[in-house]
């Protein structure tokens, strides 16, 4: 008898096919040769920034103080460890992060995600009805891909050096007319991934204004979600300190998502959301319970200990390392690639540079990509099949720009390179190979 395969939901169907960027990264990872191939594609933090010893100390301290860190190897509550919530609150207030004071937290809640900031972002896709999400272009492709698989329509507004362009956003809102009713939330990454463009305080205030006006116009509060994944990694001291929009959000629509991944360790999987108390936050807490009760309690308590004991020093150390790398990599980009680079963003925060080439394609079908992944089909370029010449991977801009947005053409000439994970000598080698790849593109 014939039997049909398992019937998947629309989301299941969409998720059964890995996203193109996931496919590309997996293919690369499978044959990856340590010490030979160079991965400028991953968003991994630098291993040296992870405070292994302090984590060990924190773990011992937590386990040996069961009065404070109760049942730390047991299940945790869905909102998160009270110790960690208090540590996060205190970290913000004591350091006046973004201008936050005790008063800012009145009528606000802090909740810990089940699995980093990612799980909180994902939870939002479950508790809000599908509809339009407005974000910046280039966009955080991982989350935008998730949103689209869940049936959301992503509208991406081009950014410049100061982040999402609010005049273009206003124009877009006018243009979509009645469609505005269908906007479910705004999602803005304050140090954008891939571009590392820093959202200016002026633009941030504009955004709060626009979304507040928009909320009044449609007669309901529309959440404005700021993703602060790289907020602590603004390593260029000349940049204006980033304000928190929680400080001036009068209507109660601003939510900020933070993570300890970039300043401590992604493996702890600690992300948090801060925003007005209410049904939206309550539904996120319930969702955390639904997908795994809570983040591992032991990790939350370790994170709490680390926030209480020297986090400022740790952040400083991390930033010194990234700033040094940023400067060095920028010099090499200028030396090796500048003749072909039209724009280069990044270098002040996070650990990505986002380049636009003037006339070289970077997409996965391009000669540049094929050269660097040794898939040209030419022996002299690729090397022997069983032992190819060193490969380099990066994130092509085609995956970072919205496929139906205004940047689709320019995206084909863009790329994100990460200076987070690999060490400087490897990054230098990779950039030299990129130069050879450009020469190859011009030759053929």
Ligand X SMILES: Cc1ncc(COP(=O)(O)O)c(C=O)c1O
Using CB under 6 A, list all residues that contact ligand X. Answer: 43, 116-118, 140, 189, 193, 227, 229, 259, 261, 266, 271
Between 231 and 374, CB nearer to ligand X:
231
Relative orientation angle of helices 116-127 and 279-292, to the nearest 10 degrees: 120
Least Å distance, CB 113 to ligand X, is 7
Which residue's CB comes closest to ligand X? 116
Distances (CA, A) of 302 to 65, 70, 155, 356: 12, 12, 39, 41
User: What torsion, rounded to 10 degrees, do the Cα atoms 212, 216, 222, 225 define?
Assistant: 0
CB 59 within 8 A of CB 49: no
For β-strands 352-357 and 414-418, DSSP reports them as antiparallel
Least Å distance, CB 118 to ligand X, is 3
Between 164 and 381, CB nearer to ligand X:
164
Least Å distance, CB 386 to ligand X, is 34
What's the rounded Cα separation, in Å, for the pair 110 and 93? 13
Least Å distance, CB 81 to ligand X, is 16
Between 69 and 351, CB nearer to ligand X:
351
Least Å distance, CB 405 to ligand X, is 18
SS3 354: strand
Between 26 and 338, CB nearer to ligand X:
26
Least Å distance, CB 36 to ligand X, is 25
Between 87 and 118, CB nearer to ligand X:
118
Least Å distance, CB 435 to ligand X, is 28
For β-strands 38-39 and 132-137, DSSP reports them as unpaired
Least Å distance, CB 345 to ligand X, is 15
Distances (CA, A) of 410 to 56, 296, 355, 403, 425: 46, 42, 11, 11, 30
What's the rounded Cα separation, in Å, for the pair 275 and 280? 9
How many angstroms separate the most distant Cα atoms in the chain? 71
Distances (CA, A) of 96 to 89, 104, 247: 10, 10, 11
Distances (CA, A) of 26 to 18, 31, 393: 10, 9, 11
Between 193 and 366, CB nearer to ligand X:
193
Between 136 and 329, CB nearer to ligand X:
136
Least Å distance, CB 193 to ligand X, is 4
Between 229 and 336, CB nearer to ligand X:
229
Least Å distance, CB 259 to ligand X, is 3
CB 204 within 8 A of CB 159: no
Between 322 and 368, CB nearer to ligand X:
322
Between 139 and 333, CB nearer to ligand X:
139
Between 271 and 296, CB nearer to ligand X:
271
What's the rounded Cα separation, in Å, for the pair 41 and 61? 36
User: CB within 8 A of 435, min separation 6: which ones?
Assistant: 336, 337
CB 248 within 8 A of CB 208: yes
Least Å distance, CB 34 to ligand X, is 22
Strand boundaries in 92-234, DSSP class E:
108-112, 132-137, 153-160, 163-164, 183-189, 224-227
Q: What is the DSSP letter of 247?
A: G
Pull the structure tokens for residue 418: 């990460």
């Amino acid at each position: 008898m014939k039997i049909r395969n398992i019937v998947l939901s629309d989301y299941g169907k969409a998720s059964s096919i890995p996203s193109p960027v996931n496919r590309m990264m997996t293919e690369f990872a499978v044959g990856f040769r340590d010490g030979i191939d160079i991965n400028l594609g991953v968003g991994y933090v630098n291993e040296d920034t992870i405070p292994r010893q302090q984590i060990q100390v924190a773990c011992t301290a937590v386990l040996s103080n069961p009065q404070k860190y109760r049942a730390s190897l047991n299940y945790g509550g869905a909102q998160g460890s009270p110790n960690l919530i208090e540590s996060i609150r205190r970290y913000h207030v004591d350091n006046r992060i973004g201008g936050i004071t005790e008063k800012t937290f009145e009528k606000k809640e802090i909740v810990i995600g089940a699995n980093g900031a990612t799980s909180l972002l994902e939870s939002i896709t479950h508790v809000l009805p599908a509809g339009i999400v407005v974000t910046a272009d280039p966009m955080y492709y991982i989350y935008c891909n998730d949103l689209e698989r869940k049936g959301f329509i992503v509208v991406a507004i081009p950014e410049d050096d100061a982040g999402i362009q609010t005049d273009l956003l206003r124009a877009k809102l006018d243009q979509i007319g009645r469609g505005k009713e269908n906007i479910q939330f705004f999602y803005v990454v304050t140090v954008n991934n891939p571009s590392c463009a820093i959202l200016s305080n002026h633009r941030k205030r504009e955004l709060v204004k626009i979304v507040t006006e928009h909320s009044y116009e449609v007669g309901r509060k529309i959440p404005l979600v700021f993703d602060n994944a790289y907020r602590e990694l603004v390593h260029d001291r000349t940049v204006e300190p980033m304000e928190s929009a929680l400080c001036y959000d009068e209507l109660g629509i601003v939510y900020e998502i933070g993570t300890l991944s970039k300043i401590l360790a992604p493996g702890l999987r600690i992300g948090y959301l801060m925003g007005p108390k209410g049904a939206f936050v309550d539904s996120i807490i319930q969702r955390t319970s639904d997908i795994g009760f809570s983040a591992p309690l032991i990790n939350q308590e370790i994170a709490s200990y680390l926030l209480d004991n020297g986090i400022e020093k740790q952040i400083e150390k991390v930033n010194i390392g990234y700033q040094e790398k940023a400067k060095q990599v920028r010099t090499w980009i200028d030396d090796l690639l500048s003749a072909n680079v039209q724009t280069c963003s990044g270098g002040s925060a996070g650990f990505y540079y986002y380049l636009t080439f003037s006339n070289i394609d970077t997409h996965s079908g391009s000669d540049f990509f094929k050269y660097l992944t040794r898939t040209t089909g030419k022996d002299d370029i690729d090397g022997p099949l069983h032992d190819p010449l060193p490969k380099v991977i990066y994130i092509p801009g085609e995956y970072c720009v919205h496929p139906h947005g205004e940047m689709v053409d320019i995206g084909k000439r863009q790329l994100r390179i990460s200076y987070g994970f690999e060490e400087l000598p490897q990054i230098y080698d990779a950039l030299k190979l990129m130069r050879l790849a450009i020469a190859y593109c011009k030759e053929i």
